[in-house]
Amino acid sequence: MDRLCDPQYEVSAHYLIAEDGACYEMVDPKMRAWHAGVGSWRGLDDINSRSIGIELANDGSSPFAALLMTALEGLLRQILEQFDLPPKAVIGHSDMAPGRKCDPGRRFDWRRLALQGLAVWPNVTATTPTDADRFCESLVNFGYPDLGADVLLDAFRQRFRPHETGPLDDWDMAAAADLSARFGVDRDPNTA
């Protein structure tokens, strides 16, 4: 909290959630905060001006505290309802600035949020042959900045396959294709 309030660091967030579940509003969510830095999502830059930043108290290598996750779920429900946002609008710093940011990290439970309708998760029913160019196209259409297969694979796996290692595989391909088809930028707005 001290760092987020210190002008020397030029960083802030709308909310900070502590390990014990305490939630602090640092900046009015209708105002701009300085939490995202340089990055893009869904082809848009200046993420600070078009997002609500939530900082989570975690060292990046430990599991997220249960009370923190419960508080985050409540806050996300409130934000999504208040601003009429879909679950696909919930992203991490590692999504909008792959290769530069790695939070919330591999220990963050994105699937838990998705099961509650607070984020998205791929629906993989069959695998797809590996093709790095198609993988990148799918992830860029989903929202990631176009930074190449290696950077995108790492960012994608941080969120959707945090314990997976090795080269791009058929499951990665199928998941990326599903995310693109269901939540992508060029998706037909008349479909779910």
Residue 162 CB-density burial (10 A; 0-12 exposed, 13-18 middle, 19+ buried): middle
| Inside any domain, residue 26 | yes
Mean pLDDT on 120-126: 95
3 state DSSP class of 17: strand
| Inside any domain, residue 192 | no
pLDDT digit string, tens, across residues 72-86: 999 999 999 999 999
Q: In what order do the strands lie in the sheet with 23-25?
A: 23-25, 15-17, 54-56
Please indicate, yes or no, whether residues 68 and 10 belong to a single structural domain of this protein: yes
Q: In this structure, what token pair is assigned to residue 110?
A: 């994105």
| Inside any domain, residue 86 | yes
Judged by average pLDDT, the poorest of 41-50, 83-92, 148-157 is 41-50
CA distance 139 to 153: 9
Please indicate, yes or no, whether residues 73 and 99 belong to a single structural domain of this protein: yes
Q: Which domain holds residue 43?
A: 1-120
pLDDT digit string, tens, across residues 44-75: 999 989 999 999 999 989 999 999 999 999 99
Please indicate, yes or no, whether residues 116 and 140 belong to a single structural domain of this protein: no
Mean pLDDT on 175-191: 80
In the chain, % of residues over pLDDT 70: 95
Beta partners for 24?
A: 16
pLDDT digit string, tens, across residues 95-106: 999 999 999 999
Q: Give first-to-last CA distance, the chain, whole Å.
A: 39
Mean pLDDT on 115-129: 95
Domain boundary, last residue among 120, 139, 161 = 120
CA distance 95 to 102: 8
Residue 13 pLDDT exceeds 80: yes
What pLDDT score was predicted for residue 187?
Answer: 54
Catalytic residue among 10, 19, 25, 55: 55
Cα torsion at 179, 183, 187, 191 (round to 10°)? 110
Please indicate, yes or no, whether residues 78 and 2 belong to a single structural domain of this protein: yes
Mean pLDDT on 108-113: 98
55 is known as an active-site residue:
yes
Residue 111 pLDDT exceeds 80: yes
What pLDDT score was predicted for residue 183?
Answer: 97
Per the structure, the count of domains in the chain is 2
3 state DSSP class of 76: helix
Mean pLDDT on 5-10: 72
